[in-house]
Amino acid sequence: MPKNPAYIGRFAPSPTGHLHFGSLVAALASWLQARQAGGRWLLRMEDLDPPREIPGAADDILRTLEVYGLHWDGAVVYQSQRNELYQAALDRLLDAGLAYRCGCSRKEVRALGRFGIDGIVYPGTCRSGLPAGKSPRAYRLRVEPGEIHFSDAIQGTIIQNVAQDIGDFVLKRADGFWAYQLAVVVDDAEQGVTEVVRGADLLDSTGRQIHLQRSMGMPTPGYAHLPIALNELGQKLSKQTHAPALARNRILPTLRIAWRFLGQEGVPGDLLATEDFLAWAATHWDIGRVVGSSATETDIHA
Ligand code: GLU
């Protein structure tokens, strides 16, 4: 049983490929933060985007986490099995007039919208009802003007203007799949997550998620966005940049590189077993040492 039932953290991989060094950093840091607090660490498989998923990747991710000694609490939650929860959330938003049906194609949005921080800002065409002749394709959240302020445990004070930089964003996609933003907010609330520790590549999503939490009367968890691991070309490690899969035979050396990447203090030389290292790391972890900016894996070896 956890010593501190008040802390609930999570790791939420998408089964679009193998775990790589960047995903290990997120898994390890969120695990350390939960274990140090004596709380729970949940595992949520974000398998909501079948076109991008790779068969077998979800199981491969779970096995890799186990090999790395990062054991989660409770059963793994699969987003693909939580359709009713997302539908209920969307229905509530529609009933409250906070979400609406949108009949615009990508081409139409591109033609009328201006560039924001994550693609085109929706020009609001269907905000006051579907124009004649259009049929509903997607569902969007009505984003009210104003700034969202939050304090990130690593990145400091963040101010985001969702209306200006993103616009009314998609909750359910035209292809019928749930949008990441809706699912993540519903799940974090339903699972009682108190702190989200994840890569800074998701920082731009946080304003949207807080906006959605407020629209649904859900609590806002704490946030800590980790530096992003880059390859030697300065690109984020990902499937698109061909990040290598985590080695299954160099567990401790790889964990130690991730530990140093997170700005943590030197490891005593006599910690030769993965479990001993992780137990030591959970007591010596200091999130205050993590630096906000991105770093390359090669910097760590230097
Ligand atoms: N599933 C997302 C990813 O793998 C992470 C979601 C999150 O941590 O909020 O990038």
Q: Are residues 251 and 269 in the same domain?
A: yes
Domain end: 121, 152, 182, which one? 182
Q: Are residues 164 and 35 in the same domain?
A: no
Q: Are residues 142 and 163 in the same domain?
A: yes
Is 46 close to ligand 1, i.e. is its CB under 6 Å away? Answer: yes
Q: Are residues 196 and 261 in the same domain?
A: yes
Sheet with strand 8-11: strands edge to edge? 8-11, 40-45, 77-78
Q: Are residues 121 and 147 in the same domain?
A: yes
Q: Per the domain annotation, does 231 fall within a domain?
A: yes
Domain of residue 220, CATH code: 3.40.50.620
Torsion angle in degrees (nearest 10) through CA of 243, 263, 270, 63 = -30
Q: What is the pLDDT of residues 181-216, one digit of tens each?
A: 999 999 999 999 999 999 999 999 999 999 999 999
Domain end: 132, 151, 182, which one? 182
User: What does pLDDT average to over the chain?
Assistant: 93
Give residue 294's pLDDT. 63
Q: Are strands 99-102 and 138-141 parallel, antiparallel or unpaired?
A: antiparallel
Q: Are residues 226 and 252 in the same domain?
A: yes
Length of the chain: 302
What is the domain count for the chain? Answer: 2
Atom of ligand 1 nearest to the CA of 26: 8
- SS3 of 59-73: HHHHHHHHHCCCCCC
Is 99 close to ligand 1, i.e. is its CB under 6 Å away? Answer: no
Q: Per the domain annotation, does 295 fall within a domain?
A: yes
Best mutation site among 76, 198, 204, 208 for ligand 1 pocket (most ligand atoms within 8 Å of CB): 198
Please report, as a single letter, which amino acid is at residue 219.
P
* Model confidence, pTM: 0.94
Q: Are residues 33 and 175 in the same domain?
A: no
Q: What is the pLDDT of residues 278-300, one digit of tens each?
A: 999 999 999 999 987 766 655 55
Is 297 close to ligand 1, i.e. is its CB under 6 Å away? Answer: no
CA of 31 to the centre of ligand 1 (A): 15
Q: Are residues 196 and 58 in the same domain?
A: yes
Domain end: 151, 167, 182, which one? 182
Is 202 close to ligand 1, i.e. is its CB under 6 Å away? Answer: yes
Q: How confident is the model over 132-156, as a mean pLDDT?
A: 95
Q: Whose CA is nearest to atom 7 of ligand 1?
A: 12
Q: Are residues 197 and 272 in the same domain?
A: yes
Q: Is pLDDT of 302 > 80?
A: no
Q: What is the pLDDT of residues 75-86, one digit of tens each?
A: 999 999 999 999
Q: Are residues 218 and 73 in the same domain?
A: yes
Domain that holds residue 175: 83-182
Q: What is the pLDDT of residues 85-143, one digit of tens each?
A: 999 999 999 999 999 999 999 999 999 889 999 999 999 999 999 999 999 999 999 99
Q: Per the domain annotation, does 25 fall within a domain?
A: yes
CA of 133 to the centre of ligand 1 (A): 37
Q: Per the domain annotation, does 3 fall within a domain?
A: no
Q: Are residues 208 and 132 in the same domain?
A: no
Domain of residue 155, CATH code: 3.90.800.10
Chain-centre distance of CA 291, in angstroms? 19
Q: Per the domain annotation, does 1 fall within a domain?
A: no
CA of 13 to the centre of ligand 1 (A): 5
Taking each helix axis as running N to C, give the angle between helix 203-215 and helix 180-190, from 0 to 180 degrees, rounded to the nearest 10.
Answer: 60
- SS3 of 250-302: CHHHHHHHHHHHCCCCCCCCCCCCHHHHHHHHHHHCCHHHCCCCCEEHHHHHC
Q: Are residues 292 and 198 in the same domain?
A: yes
